């Protein structure tokens, strides 16, 4: 059956009203039966090589040994890419067209074109919440990992908060929290890059003859204040990018 579930030998008697096996009785993962379904690939008697027959065809007047090979068409699977930005602080930008992959071919997924401010893309998943099958950006789809053998598949982008390194410029002050610190977007500030030691506030630096006025995104108090004069983080400070 040309790669299907089994090869079988079926004896029949000439002029007995015999019919060929129906294609519905045979399965081949990832493929659909063609029409005509049977092709003669080794002919004896009054069979002819290359002769074709429909599924279930009447062969009552045929005689001689023959090999009939099933004909299959590889299925195509349509992949849809979902930005999956519901629940994120910011909406995704970018678009991605659907991608069609033919079963049995090794095909790379289209490169991710979505971006979300404050978040890093970490791959695709067949479930919105990441509990399904996972695929890296540009992963190769094979018969071993394809999530469906026909029809369509939706892949949902997976995101994690980006981590930013923040340098603290003390403007000739001394002491204070050791620089750098790390901002995990929309989550908090941390003293380590892996973001396991959270900072509730900063120890402020000192400078003789001056009062500390906080940390700003620009020099000399310009830009946006991120940390107050008391060392507390301002509201929405975790959303700076």
For the segment 169-174, the average pLDDT, to the nearest whole number, is 94
Q: Where are the alpha helices (DSSP H) in the chain?
A: none
77 closest CA partner among 143, 140, 151, 144: 151
The tens digit of pLDDT for each residue in 1-11 reads: 444 445 555 66
Q: What is the pLDDT, as a whole number, of residue 11?
A: 63
The tens digit of pLDDT for each residue in 91-144 reads: 999 999 999 999 999 999 999 999 999 999 999 999 999 999 999 999 999 999
Q: What is the pLDDT, as a whole number, of residue 239?
A: 87
Distance of CA 212 to the CA centre of its chain: 49
Phi, psi of 103 (to 5 degrees): -60, 140
For the segment 82-98, the average pLDDT, to the nearest whole number, is 97
Q: What is the pLDDT, as a whole number, of residue 189?
A: 96
For residue 236, what pLDDT band results from cuts at 50, 70 and 90?
Answer: confident
For residue 60, what pLDDT band results from cuts at 50, 70 and 90?
Answer: confident
Tell me the C-alpha distance between 223 and 218, whole Å: 5
Q: What is the pTM of this model?
A: 0.85
Q: What is the pLDDT, as a whole number, of residue 10?
A: 61
Going by their DSSP bridges, the two strands 99-102 and 107-108 should be labelled as unpaired
The tens digit of pLDDT for each residue in 12-40 reads: 666 666 888 888 888 899 999 999 999 99
Tell me the residue length of the chain: 241
């Amino acid at each position: 059956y040309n790669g299907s579930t089994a090869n079988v030998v079926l004896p029949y008697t000439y002029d007995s009203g015999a019919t060929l096996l129906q294609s519905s009785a045979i399965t081949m993962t990832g493929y659909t039966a063609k029409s005509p379904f049977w092709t003669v690939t080794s002919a004896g008697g009054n069979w002819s090589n290359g002769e074709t027959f429909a599924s279930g065809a009447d062969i009552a007047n045929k005689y001689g040994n023959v090999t009939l090979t099933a004909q299959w068409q590889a299925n195509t699977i349509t992949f849809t890419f979902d930005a999956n930005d519901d629940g994120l602080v910011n909406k995704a930008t970018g678009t991605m067209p659907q991608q069609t992959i033919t079963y049995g071919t090794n095909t790379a997924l289209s490169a991710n074109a979505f971006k979300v401010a404050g978040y890093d893309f970490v791959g695709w998943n067949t479930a919105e919440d990441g509990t399904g099958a996972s695929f890296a950006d540009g992963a190769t789809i094979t018969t071993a990992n394809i999530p469906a053998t026909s029809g369509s598949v939706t892949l949902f982008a997976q995101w994690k908060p980006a981590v930013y390194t923040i340098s603290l410029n003390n403007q000739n002050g001394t002491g204070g929290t050791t620089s750098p610190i790390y901002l995990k977007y929309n989550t908090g500030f941390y003293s380590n890059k892996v973001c396991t030691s959270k900072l509730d506030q900063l120890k402020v630096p000192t400078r003789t003859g001056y009062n500390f006025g906080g940390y700003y995104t620009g020099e000399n108090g310009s830009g946006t204040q991120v940390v107050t004069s008391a060392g507390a983080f301002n509201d929405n400070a975790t959303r700076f990018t």
